[in-house]
Amino acid sequence: MEFVLVSLLNGITYGMLLFMLSSGLTLIFSMMGVLNFAHASFYMLGAYFAYQVSVILGFWPALLVAPLLVGLCGVLIERYGLRNAHKYGHVAELLFTFGLSFLIEEIVRLVWGKAAVDYRIPEALNGTLFTLFSSNFPIYKGFMMLVSVGMLLALYALLTRTRTGLIVQAALSRPDMVEALGHNVPRIFMLVFGGGVALAALAGVIGGNAFITEPGMAAAVGTIVFVVVVVGGLGSLAGAFVASLLIGIVQTFAVGLNVSITDIAALFGVELQASGAMARLTLTQLAPILPYLFMVAILVFRPRGLMGARES
Amino acid sequence: MNCDASPPPLLHPRRLVSWGVLLAVLIVLPLLFSKGFALSLLCQIGIMVIFALSYNMLLGQTGLLSFGHAVYFGIGAFATMHTLNLLGKGGLPLPVTLLPLVGGLAGLLAGVLFGYVSTKRAGTAFAMISLGIGELVASASLMFPALFGGEGGISGNRVVGGAVLGISYGPQIEMYYLIVGWAFISMLAMYALTQTPLGCMANAVRDNPERVQFVGYDPQWVRFMMLVLSGGFAGIAGALSALNYEIVTAETLGAQTSGAVLMMAFVGGVGWFHGPIIGAVLITLLQIALSGLTKAWLFYFGLFFLCIVLYLPGGIASLLSMHQRLWKARLLGWVLPSYVRLALPLTLVACGLIGLVEMAYQRAEAAEIPLRLLGASIDVTLATPWLGALAALCGGLVLLRASWPAVTGAWRRALLRLESREET
Amino acid sequence: MSMNTPAPALQLEAVKKSFGRTHIINGVSLVVARGERHAIIGPNGAGKSTLFNLISARFPVSGGDIFLNGSSVVGLKPHQITRRGLSRSFQVTNIFHNLSVLENLRCAVLWPLGYRYAFWRRLAVLRNANQRAQDVAAEIGLTHRRDTPAGVLSYAEQRALEIGITIAGGAEVILLDEPTAGMSNSETEQAVALIRRVTAGKTLVMVEHDMRVVFGLADRISVLVYGEIIATGTPEEIRTNRAVQEAYLGAAAAAAAETGHA
């Protein structure tokens, strides 16, 4: 019981972090038709910028400044890079963001070095929020949850209550129509790209110190985020939300469960001759590949993804 | 790279000659570059040429952007290594010369398995699925140390059994000729494939998958078959790499290898059959040259790739073909002088950029010794070198902008002349 | 269906299609005999193109049944229906832009000639495929453009190529979706002559707005209004049909007369 509750809380925290990434990715994809390969790189930039700002000004200003700075970078990159690639089609755009992810990782290495930087949780958020049976639930995880839920609500309000939000929503289903209606689509593209990567950066600000801030962090989370959007259905925000939570929870549970394939088989009354390497594998060991297995399963049975409506 | 529509004679003499010349050059090359380093470089290039061409069967021919092509390369390599070790134990009567067939078969089977899942979708979804499958295989490989050797990989010895016809594959030169032999056969086969019904329909699927359905073909099946065949050729390349290096690690099927082959094909030019060959040669040479010169080589690499994507999406091959067209019309002299005006701006940009990057790297590494660049010693703690480099970069960019119209103008005049000539 | 009378080339039975709550096609039944030239006319938004998309399985039907040469094709994929001898063109030009004219046509003849997914045969020596592609290029008047990439052809040339791809495979049942849309008068005349030539002896179903084309080509005409067929008959019957005149033809005929003067 204790294990289930604690894992569930941890899984939701992780899942919400994934959603902060996948929501921006989905918005950008739906609007511009380009899957931003460098999305996780902006997550990393968010963490590094926050580290740099927090060294000078402290954590709280960094929470605001870092995403804004990264958003500005995003706007500039869209204006002077991505827009040029746009005229050569989606493959060129995807390759541009692929090259960008490569370059950002190298720039981070150049500026901050190869090793992890000392980006820490602020003192005020260091401690235990509550104790569940015998497990401590740290304040910072509660804070992460708060920020991500706050972002979710803000995003919802922005999409449903503002003019820009309505245009973005319209573009989610019919991008051609929005352009036909005479909206300045390039400017919306620029803003959505900036906003989307700022969301990723916010995730980096609160995720970088919870986990680790190092040049490999983008690659580590990047592919998982792509799996999330494919599983959820490309271009579906609701799908991204469900898939984020699902994958966050499944992975957290798998890490905590130290049972082997043989044990699971025994649970279902199947007696396995525990000899092969396969049978001895535990779920913990399988945890890193579970999202990918999940993706393959979804593709076999439901190629559009959980809630996908539009073909790529 | 399209299938030719006008039916040429059975085997076009000019085409036969160019294949013959290529083979002759490949045979003679090691006589010119016989040093150990040059020879191993040639071997690496040969392997990468097959790999990059197999990649272009997907991107250039079928329009499938894959981020996980190393899976087939790696699986071919591991299968070959296991077979090689079986040979060492005397378990199989198979000459080493034919081992690439094992790798190719393994790549083919991997293509059947993963292709079934990934070719259900095209476009962006295919790209993401190929990435996911790449990650899946790469992380799964670390879980089965018995099969993939864990972090250390598995190694073997290609000199097994007695020498067949005096060939033992002990000396590197024999390995080179093995690679050249397989590379030549694979190139011929892949070129021939572009001129078959399947190759032609792959082009059609790339252009317009919907219409393909209404001429009786199943685009998903076309994608699947192309992926399987491409996996087979990637497997042959992987097998040769296993034999060449005598070690295969998990990195072989990882994201870096996938990214490298994508860059080779794209930089070379995916629209031409010979594009990936150019890319494989160029990128391999650049890798070796740059990684020896600077620690920031990956940065330069990324920047180079971005520039190609933004300013030369057809790759080096498109640049060559543009100039070849003018050369044939004897108009090359119209544009070449304008290039001279780019020399100064480009030098300034390069100097400024290299200065900034190298100084940044030096500072991040917090190295005690001052940076040595082009014979000069630079103290990166002072502001002057930073400002100087920045000024060179900005000045160069401004100059580049100013002199660019001269180049485009020269090109416009040359092309106008060319068109007016073609009309008369 | 008895064994003696040959099955109609195409038969629709109470075919329905709805997108969400919107019913686009409300139970259309239609019989097209072998060798017949059948035109489907109707005002904009009547569901003509949707009907074609249902017959060729571009969209799945919501109800009803479709028979091609007597056997049901509902549930088949587009390429399977094409393999059974039904070929269609598109209202919005749908060709292979980076391939040359000849390559476009050759793509359309490979499956019917039985080359399937062959990767062991050289195209250059497939004489019948190359010959057929060249014949069709000559038929549609594009021989002088045979090596030009389809993407750079003029609009009328692309429309001709669209028809060429549709008929190149030798399908017995041909659906043409607004083959003369956007053409000038002289281009339309050429297109009509071309259609007449290349569909000789085949079953033709066409959607068309230009009434001169319809009455010039069709043996029989069906009028589709709001997803229902309100009348089917010979051009003469349709011309004099009261319901048709009221619902549709009056306005359209006036419009056609006007464009005829312009």
Note the pLDDT of residue B10: 45
Range of the domain at C7: 1-85+171-183+200-262
Note the pLDDT of residue B16: 84
Segment 270-289 of chain A within 8 Å of chain B by CB = 277-278, 281, 285-286, 288-289
Does the structure show a pLDDT above 80 at C166?
yes
C127 in the same domain as C225: no
Q: Which chains touch B (3 or more CB pairs under 8 A)?
A: A, C
DSSP state of A102: H
H helix or E strand, kind and range, residue B376: strand B376-378
Q: How near does any CA of chain C get to the CA of B324, in Å?
A: 20
Q: Measured between CB atoms, does A229 come within 8 Å of chain B?
A: yes
Q: Which residues does chain A have within 8 Å of residue B143's beta carbon, measured at their own beta carbons?
A: 281, 285-286, 289
Give the number of other Cβ atoms within 10 Å of residue B204's Cβ: 29
Segment 106-125 of chain A within 8 Å of chain B by CB = 106-107, 109-113
Q: Measured between CB atoms, does B348 come within 8 Å of chain C?
A: no
Structure tokens given for B151 = 């972090």
For C129, which residue in chain B has the nearest alpha carbon? B197
Instruction: Please provide the DSSP assignment of C165-221 as one string.
Output: HHHHT--SEEEEESTTTT--HHHHHHHHHHHHHHTTTSEEEEE-S-HHHHHHH-SEE
Note whether C87 contacts B193, CB cutoff 8 Å.
no
Residue keyed to tokens 């304040």: A139
Q: What is the mean pLDDT of residues A35-53?
A: 94
CA distance C115 to A85: 38
Helix (H/G/I), strand (E/B), else coil: C34? coil
Structure tokens given for A298 = 């979804």
Note the pLDDT of residue B202: 97
C175 in the same domain as C162: no
C97 in the same domain as C79: no
Instruction: Confirm if C191 and C183 have CB atoms less than 8 A apart.
Output: yes
C54 in the same domain as C119: no
| Crossing angle of the two packed helices A237-256 and A290-301, in degrees rounded to 10 | 140
Of B192, B206, B215, the CB nearest to C169: B215
B131, B206, B401: best mutation site toward chain A, by most A Cβ within 10 Å?
B131
Residue C31 resides in a domain: yes
Note whether A94 contacts B65, CB cutoff 8 Å.
yes
C176 in the same domain as C256: yes
Confidence of residue C113 (pLDDT cuts 50, 70, 90): very high
Tell me the one-letter amino acid at C77.
K
Q: Measured between CB atoms, does B36 come within 8 Å of chain C?
A: no
Structure tokens given for A272 = 């396995």
Q: Measured between CB atoms, does C249 come within 8 Å of chain B?
A: no
Note whether B301 contacts A102, CB cutoff 8 Å.
yes
Residue keyed to tokens 């429309």: C159
C50 in the same domain as C156: no
C250 in the same domain as C217: yes
C176 in the same domain as C77: yes
Segment 31-90 of chain B within 8 Å of chain A by CB = 59, 63, 65, 67
Instruction: Confirm if C14 and C65 have CB atoms less than 8 A apart.
Output: yes
Helix (H/G/I), strand (E/B), else coil: B121? coil
Note the pLDDT of residue A309: 60
Q: Which chains touch C (3 or more CB pairs under 8 A)?
A: B
Of B192, B214, B221, the CB nearest to C88: B214
DSSP state of A282: B
Strands C86-88 and B376-378: unpaired
Q: Which residues does chain A have within 8 Å of residue B123's beta carbon, measured at their own beta carbons?
A: 90, 311-312
Note the pLDDT of residue A278: 63
Segment 166-195 of chain A within 8 Å of chain B by CB = none
Angle at A182 between CA A178 and CA A185, to 5 degrees: 60
Nearby residues of B40 by Cβ (< 8 Å), 6 or more positions away: B172, B244
Of B2, B195, B198, the CB nearest to C117: B198
Q: Which residues does chain A have within 8 Å of residue B365's beta carbon, measured at their own beta carbons?
A: 113
The whole model's pTM is what? Answer: 0.92
Phi-psi group of C25: left, alpha or beta (phi > 0 → left; psi -120 to 50 → alpha; rest → beta): beta
Note the pLDDT of residue B11: 57
DSSP percent split of chain C into helix, strand, coil, nearest 5:
40, 25, 35
Helix (H/G/I), strand (E/B), else coil: B7? coil
Which residue did the predictor score with more confidence, A188 or C218?
C218
What is each CA distance from B410 to A17, B258, B339, B398, in whole angstroms? 53, 39, 10, 20
What average pLDDT does the structure give for chain A? 85
C177 in the same domain as C57: yes
Instruction: Please provide the DSSP assignment of B139-202 as one string.
Output: HHHHH-HHHH-GGG-EE--S--SSPBTTB-S-SHHHHHHHHHHHHHHHHHHHHHHHTSHHHHHH
Q: What is the mean pLDDT of residues A241-248?
A: 92
Q: Which residues does chain C have within 8 Å of residue B194's beta carbon, measured at their own beta carbons?
A: none
Note whether C100 contacts B193, CB cutoff 8 Å.
no
Confidence of residue A312 (pLDDT cuts 50, 70, 90): very low
Residue C44 resides in a domain: yes
Note the pLDDT of residue C235: 93
Which residue did the predictor score with more confidence, A181 or C100?
C100
Does the structure show a pLDDT above 80 at A96?
yes
Segment 24-63 of chain A within 8 Å of chain B by CB = 29, 33-35
The alpha carbon dihedral of A185, A186, A190, A193 has a sign of positive
CA distance B220 to A251: 32
Does the structure show a pLDDT above 70 at A225?
yes
- Name the residue among C68, C78, C82, C76 with its Cα closest to residue C7: C68
- Name the residue among B152, B133, B132, B134 with its Cα closest to residue B142: B152
Q: Measured between CB atoms, does C122 come within 8 Å of chain B?
A: yes
For A86, which residue in chain B has the nearest alpha carbon? B310
Note the pLDDT of residue C261: 46
H helix or E strand, kind and range, residue A129: strand A128-132
CA distance A231 to A308: 9
Q: Measured between CB atoms, does A297 come within 8 Å of chain B?
A: no
C81 in the same domain as C7: yes
Angle at C30 between CA C27 and CA C36, to 5 degrees: 160
Span A197-210, pLDDT tens digits = 999 999 999 999 88
For B361, which residue in chain A has the nearest alpha carbon? A110
C78 in the same domain as C17: yes
Note whether B136 contacts A112, CB cutoff 8 Å.
no
DSSP state of C123: G
Q: Measured between CB atoms, does A309 come within 8 Å of chain B?
A: no
Number of domains in chain C: 2
DSSP state of C248: I
C129 in the same domain as C99: yes
Query: Which range in A160-164, B417-421, C21-25, C108-112 is most confidently predicted, on average pLDDT?
Result: C108-112
For B206, which residue in chain C has the nearest alpha carbon? C96
Question: What is the total residue count of chain B?
Answer: 424
Q: How near does any CA of chain B get to the CA of C238, in Å?
A: 32
Residue spans of chain B under pLDDT 50 = 5-10
Of B67, B135, B360, the CB nearest to A111: B360
Note whether C119 contacts B198, CB cutoff 8 Å.
yes
CA distance B100 to B107: 10
What average pLDDT does the structure give for chain C? 90
Does the structure show a pLDDT above 50 at A64?
yes
Burial call C66-96: b when 16+ CB within 10 Å, e when fewer: bbbbeeebbebebbebbbebbbbbbbebbbb
Phi, psi of B89 (to 5 degrees): -80, 0
Note the pLDDT of residue B361: 80
Q: Measured between CB atoms, does B192 come within 8 Å of chain C?
A: yes
Note whether C169 contacts B200, CB cutoff 8 Å.
no
ipTM for the complex?
0.90
